[in-house]
């Protein structure tokens, strides 16, 4: 069941079932990859991620991706339904590992929605922060949770000051169409408003 939050919070969250088992397998598969770090710094941005595979974000045949999809897709479909959609196009899926000192500075994504599955999230590691144009939002999440939010909202993975490693799976997707129930509700509300 989705933990629906106030719309002013700008995100939805849920939990991956069997997270403990999923975590062990995913971390093992990620450890087997040869992907490297990402570092970029200029006058506006500082990005330092110890290990990630964003360059392969569209490859849905990677072993860890094939393992995760049966757990992840039903959750994303529930999110889409909550938003009033009927279908989704998963455009990108990648992992990022943050060791001490790592940061993913403020950024946005180009799809409708983005999100994070917190695969490894020790208590003293930072959660994603989202800026909605008025306030800073820190989703109420713990390890094993995933959250999704509009991709155009600026967000950041703050610097990891902890000695512990944080690992996330991130994803981008588009909602492809409205579901019929939502469409009919909107049409009825439009008719009722016009009749007043």
Q: How much is the pLDDT for 6?
A: 42
Q: How much is the pLDDT for 7?
A: 45
Domain range list for the chain: 7-195
Q: How much is the pLDDT for 3?
A: 54
Q: How much is the pLDDT for 187?
A: 87
Q: How much is the pLDDT for 5?
A: 41
CA-wise closest residue to 50 among 172, 143, 171, 164:
164
Exposure of 193 by Cβ count < 10 A (0-12 exposed, 13-18 middle, 19+ buried)?
Answer: exposed
Which CATH fold would you assign to the domain 7-195?
Jelly Rolls (2.60.120)
> What angle is formed at CA 98 by the lines to CA 110 and CA 107, rounded to 5 degrees?
25
Q: How much is the pLDDT for 82?
A: 86
Rounded distance between C-alpha atoms, residue 87 and residue 173, angstroms: 10
Q: How much is the pLDDT for 10?
A: 84
Tens of each residue's pLDDT in the chain, 196 residues: 455 444 446 899 999 999 999 999 999 999 999 999 999 998 898 999 999 999 999 999 999 999 999 999 999 999 998 888 888 999 999 999 999 999 999 999 999 999 999 999 999 999 999 998 888 999 999 999 999 999 999 999 999 999 999 999 999 999 988 888 888 888 888 887 765 5
Q: How much is the pLDDT for 192?
A: 76
């Amino acid at each position: 069941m989705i933990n629906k939050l106030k719309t002013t919070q700008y995100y939805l969250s849920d939990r991956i079932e069997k997270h403990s088992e999923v975590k062990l397998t995913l971390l093992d598969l990620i450890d087997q990859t040869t992907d490297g770090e990402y570092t970029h710094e200029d006058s506006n941005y500082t990005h330092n991620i110890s290990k990630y595979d964003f360059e392969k974000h569209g490859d849905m045949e990677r072993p860890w991706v094939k393992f995760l999809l049966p757990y992840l897709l039903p959750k994303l479909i529930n999110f889409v339904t909550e938003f009033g959609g009927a279908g989704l196009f998963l455009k990108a899926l990648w992992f990022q590992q943050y060791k001490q000192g790592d940061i993913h500075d403020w950024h946005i994504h180009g799809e409708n929605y983005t999100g994070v599955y917190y695969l490894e999230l020790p208590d003293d590691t930072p959660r994603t922060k989202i800026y909605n144009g008025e306030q800073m939002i820190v989703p109420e999440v713990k390890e094993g949770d995933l959250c999704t939010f509009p991709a155009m909202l600026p967000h950041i993975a703050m610097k990891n000051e902890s000695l512990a490693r944080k690992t996330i799976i991130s994803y981008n997707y588009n909602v492809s169409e409205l579901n019929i129930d939502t469409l009919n509700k909107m049409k009825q509300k439009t008719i009722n408003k016009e009749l007043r």
